[in-house]
Structure 1
């Protein structure tokens, strides 16, 4: 298991201001750190309830170097917050160590720009150089792996994978798709996975899909094919709305947790290798609890 939509939960459900959607700023003071602990801890308790492992993602999705200036920070200050985000996860893992849960500390890397719009697409080398800085900072803090979430294009995803390979750190690459199941660039998910694997010697530990409703990508996985076995995780949106519709909303669309859980159950029946289950925009503990109840019963396919 992994968590739900950190930023949307904090912002819409808990009323916590996140400038530029950057949850990393909460690590700057004790109150913010306590809010993050309060967010993560119930998920770990849920994992204990089901006796399953948990991927703890750092609050660093919007914490690469370009975001320092918009957040009013120097790069060195942003680096410290990246380290503090990982330190918090180590603290939580130690707290739950007595439960003998398999807890993986993951350094979260987000896109250089927007998670919905690829904008200016970097070349692979530029992407590796750009993301390499944050990746090295997260590695220095002691992450077990990296997760590149809401990747909108192949070049950026490839650059991140190569930067991770340079320091021999496992990485999961998670693409976001539109309502037609294609990347925002128009490329098919199948081709995106294949191109990253070809360019990196299949370096990513696995691929994921996030920031899209299951209705938008379930037909792709239902079609089967060898390439789908590289997809090991899903962090879906609660809403069936498009990214453009979500961008225009002022209220959160939390969808129906039970319906979302039903679709997750269908996904794991189709693709039993899906073992990292969490949520993205609009999801919270209610959704992940429903997903766990639906997908981790004794009758789940193995």
Structure 2
């Protein structure tokens, strides 16, 4: 959503944060339009829809860097879910799931320090506690770079009785930015949380960055979603990009459908950096082709 807003709609998003758009009528309409487009695509093609909230970096440290106090962040987190619930109520498409999207405390691609899982639980409980008071269906921790932060998120979600999905990001070698393999990261999170996470995903990487490390193994059964970049660029290259690299929508759809054919248990497909509704339409079309 954020790269679409920045590059295709000309919206300035300091800190890559979309939740400040909740503060204006124009911003809310942009967000509603994005959600409605996804629901319309799901209804047209007969697939379920997971709506991700604009709250990825609406946590204390990332918010403070933009001048937001904890009390205002709580309000914006809750207002975002309320807006999504309204949009869902205006549609008769089912299933439409409201996912509260939460992100890492530090830079997703290059965290300067790694929190212990206990610290991560305390930190992310602040945002999750606010979201627990809303109509959210699931907490989704996106673009995570190391296991202990994911463990903290899972434990925090469990404290508040919410389902949780964990999505790791990987570099061009298919390993997390902090060096762990997907197998190591998923196994560590599951071992520390009694496998509480509903499932795991991979996001913010091009299929060619990770398809080679996916294997027919027990840990792979825990991976149920792929939210891929359209761009083949590394994270460092994406950080410095001044123009959108939107890749090839048709190719991305085919690549994700091929992964799903290899691993039929993968049920969630979507687009991350560089994608928009063109990519989403191709992903649906390709994944539904026999």
- TM-score of the two chains, using structure 2 as the length reference: 0.98
Q: Deviations 1:33-63 (Å, cap 9, x if unpaired)?
A: 0110111211110000111111111100010
Contact conserved, 1:211 with 1:280, CA < 8 A, in 2?
Answer: yes
* Aligned residues between the structures: 290
CA apart distance, 1:142: 2.0
2:274 — aligned with what? Answer: 282
Paired residues of 2:57 and 2:63 also in contact (CA < 8 A): no
Within 1, Cα distance between the matches of 2:98 and 2:172?
Answer: 31
The alignment status of 1:249 with 2:251, answered yes or no, reads no
2:218 to 222, 226, 231: 226
CA RMSD of aligned residues (A): 0.9
Could you say which residue in structure 1 is the equivalent of 2:21? 26
5 Å-filtered alignment, 1:125-144, equals 125-144=118-137
What is the distance in 1 between the residues matched to 2:129 and 2:154?
13
- Displaced runs of 4 or more, over 4 A: none
1:294 aligns with 2:290: no
TM-superposed deviation, 1:68: 2.6
SS at match of 2:106: coil
Normalised by the length of structure 1, the TM-score is 0.94
Report what 1:68 is aligned to. Answer: 63
1:111 aligns with 2:104: yes
**Which blocks of at least 5 consecutive residues in structure 2 are unaligned?**
none
Q: Provide structure 1 residue ranges, at least 5 long, that are not aligned to the other structure.
A: 1-5
SS at 1:186 equivalent:
coil
How far 1:140 moved relative to its partner?
A: 0.7
* TM superposition shift of 1:177: 0.3
> Does the CA-based 8 Å contact 1:50-1:296 persist in structure 2?
no
Determine which structure has greater relative contact order: mean sequence separation of CA pairs < 8 Å that are 6+ residues apart, divided by chain length. Answer: 1
Give the aligned partner of residue 156 of structure 1: 149
- The answer to whether the aligner puts 1:10 opposite 2:5 as a matched pair is yes
Matched, 1:166 2:162: no
What CA distance in whole angstroms lies between the structure 2 residues aligned with 1:197 and 1:24? 30
Q: Distance in 1 between matches of 2:111 and 2:288?
A: 35
